[in-house]
Chain A
């Protein structure tokens, strides 16, 4: 089956909770976001993503802008210190897309929020989430997730995306 929903509040918490709940079968994570920050307080979306990816030994791909601010570097450092992510920089990046590929399940969140505390808790943001337990493109939502993964891979392979050297 597949489904989609509008997510207008705490979309990154939602994404990270899905990642965390699926950590026993998580294989690959795409985090495509111009900006990343650590989360604050107890609602820690970044640490949920880290723990989910670490427990499942999932491949993590991060595409973001080259970090200039301390908070951006620090958030990437958290990911690098806990995982072995492939980090790519694209200074032109504006898209925000978060995808989970699991055994028997795929999830994509597409919308306005950056992977930041403000994006999760403070800004007015809007996103759509797609979920599918189908293995193949049997319906529109599953096809959409499939296309988003192709798009994510294409963005990461794009000439504008450079592998982080640090």
Chain B
């Protein structure tokens, strides 16, 4: 039988690893409590108190928990939707080259929403604003973009979209539409303002239809945007788009970027240009740090308390599968001295004291223990891994 880590260490709920899973574990917070509760959630509450959309930048080293945090924010908003109504959409930014433009972000957001969603939304919007194109133009959306949204009315909610509607959807995503002139489309969207307006329009329609509730676009892994710095015009394009997003004038939709970087100065200029910083404001940029000594212990304790089925563990102790003389319920799955060594390893290597690394090391040690037929992680295994 192959070794299954989750079974071997009595994990709950069919887990197979000590790594938290998303979106399943979005509700769980094992670390960064102070930043999450005191700064980020408070920041969200503050934005709602002032009737402003959520705008935020979250940065920190690889593996420190930024993606988990975005899912936690989404979970928190869903739990508190009556008081803090918002519709978060999370995407991971794809490959970015020196010439990539803002449609690389707009496209996955529209895909995540889906054409069916847009068809329903535009129809619902027409119920509030009979002339969709004019209403969008009045909100600052350019005519050709407003018209593309207007064309979506040609399909009915719940019905397969007609070709022109599919073409409109592709056009809004920045794609070249075949025979664009005969179908009434302009040249493919290219300008930063245009892509911003695509989001503005959908954000504005959603807000109107849903009594002020806003879309919240969350773009993960924006570190890739450093690639556009190789091309000055492209970088300027991104700076302009992000200025528009984070400007107070944009009250139609919220936006969160996560970026990998230890310090602010490591962040790509495309999202950390001084003009963007100025619009975002210092209180809306949050750093997640690698864990400090006490936080490692807390992370480990909370993680194991959540993941381990204590009754099953006790069953193994009672049956003799786990040697009772080495077993300590406070330190399981470690022996007590092995747990101390695990914590000491990360204390000596705080630059690696990140949730992902801690869980991965736990997986590696657990796998090694399992391969040796051991139900407990003991000190001798650390030498094998050079810990």
Contacts and interface: CB of A to CB of B under 8 A. Distances in A.
Contact of B265 (A14, A24, A47, A132): A47
Tell me whether chain B's interface is mostly helix, strand or loop, or mixed. helix
Interface in A113-160: 131-133
B345 interface: yes
B347 A21 contact: no
Interface of B: 226, 261-263, 265-266, 290, 292-293, 341, 344-345, 347-351, 353
**Most chain A CB within a 10 A radius of its CB, from B261, B262, B345, B349:** B262
A2 B349 CA distance: 11
A18 B292 contact: no
Given A1-B348, A131-B348, 6 more contacts: A3-B348, A42-B261, A44-B263, A44-B265, A48-B262, A104-B293
A133 B344 contact: yes
Interface string A11-28: 000100110111011000
Interface of A: 1-3, 14, 17-18, 20-22, 24-25, 42, 44, 47-48, 51, 104-105, 131-133
**Most chain B CB within a 10 A radius of its CB, from A14, A47, A132:** A47
Contacts of A51: 263
Nearest to A132: B348
A152 B351 CA distance: 24
14 contacts: A1-B341, A1-B345, A2-B348, A3-B348, A17-B262, A20-B351, A21-B350, A42-B266, A44-B265, A47-B263, A105-B348, A105-B350, A131-B349, A133-B347
Contacts of B262: 17, 20, 48
A133 B341 CA distance: 11
A104 to B, nearest CB: 7
A47 B264 CA distance: 11
Contacts of A14: 351
Nearest to B290: A21
A44 B267 CA distance: 12
B350 A18 contact: yes
B356 to A, nearest CB: 15
A48 B226 CA distance: 19
Contacts of B226: 42
Contact of A44 (B266, B293, B351): B266
B361 to A, nearest CB: 14
Contacts of B347: 104-105, 133
